Chains A and B, each alone.
Chain A
Amino acid sequence: MTTPPPPESTADSGPGEALRRAIRALPAERTPPADSWAQVQQAMLAAPRDSDAEQPSQRVRTNRRTVRVAMLGMAALLAVVLVSSISRTRRSAGVDPASVLLPEERRDPRVRAVLDETRNWRAASTDSLRSIRWPLEARDAIESALVATETALASARSAVRLDPDDAAARDAIVVLRAKQLLLLQRAMTLLDEI
């Protein structure tokens, strides 16, 4: 058995002063006397636990950094989840659609008709008796079409807000709304026929 060389005392070394003293007290022989190791063990046990906190090792610092980064990541993830869930909740809770409409849209009877038809569509889709034979692909296509037209409407609306004289954007809003209405009416007629 060879005697391990005494560890060099560095600013980062974990054990406390008592341990360092005990190590220094070890004789420079190849095999130390039995009580020397007992002294080292006692000193290690007696070494204060908070010495790491006072002089953290490189490994401890790395671990702490990792934990910190992970916590930051978790916080960011939590924020994203929270924001998306809030927006989802708002959507599902049914933010008043009128709040996003342009003033002329609020006066357009087609908008009311589309909202009514959308409500009818949702009610019909969840009516298992009525919609039992409606293929899922068709339902999905209608939902996608509603999303596509709403996205287009939002785009046209923002164009009008940027330039109130944008006649093309205003025309597009009227046309898209009419398309939505026709889409819902045709889809339900066709689906009820099958």
Chain B
Amino acid sequence: MIDNLIPVKLSKSEVYFREPTFYEYKNICKMLLSSDSKYISDCFNRLIESCIYINTYLNIIDKFKCIIAMRNTVLGNEISFLEDSKKITLDISILLDKEFDDTPVEYDIFTFRSPVNFYASSYDEFVSQCLVNVKGACVKDLNISQKAEILNETCLPLTDIFKQIQDQFSRRQINIFRDKTINIYNSAELLPFLKSIFQEDLNSILQFEYICMRNLDLRSADFKMYTYPELKIFLNHLNKEQQDSKQGSNAQ
């Protein structure tokens, strides 16, 4: 089977993702109803693992860009919000062109870079996620528990390492709109942002699915094939057909 693959330009490479199907998008929206940060972070990870082709090392800068690009294919490039009671429409594709600072943080024999997950349940898990190099040896391909084991065997001050990494990362703000910024290293800031741009009202989605089943004669398995934008186009065609036929019968 050939999937439609869409490229996302990352800082040092390009990856391709498959468009999420309507079925996948609906399930993501269900998962995003949660208020548990770990669960939401896992939800975005699952989306990336499922849709990104090529098993490659992605840090949160890369993942952030992938999620924005996926959002753009599912819901379009624009987001709307109220600013001083005025409706503002913003093109979030500009975030894909932003330069994200990923300068390494050196600490003794270790090199740390942006973590691999949007959320870490503890400070030592966070430090492990950021570890990329030990005494000149690249450890990006080790899993987090292996990295944790390596760190656990060293005699360096854990809290100081954590503070130094956090200190660097907390300065890395990305401007979104006017004076509005976001720090992708702060899960309390980032996850609500991603959730708000990715999630649609579940009732509306279910109602849309119902309309598709009723009017397009689709079965539940079909929603695993079609994307949300494709179904919207089908319904638009149907509406147009119905309007044309109504106009035709009115003209007679």
A, B co-complexed:
no
- Listed in ascending order, the chain A residues whose CB lies under 8 Å from chain B are none
- Listed in ascending order, the chain B residues whose CB lies under 8 Å from chain A are none
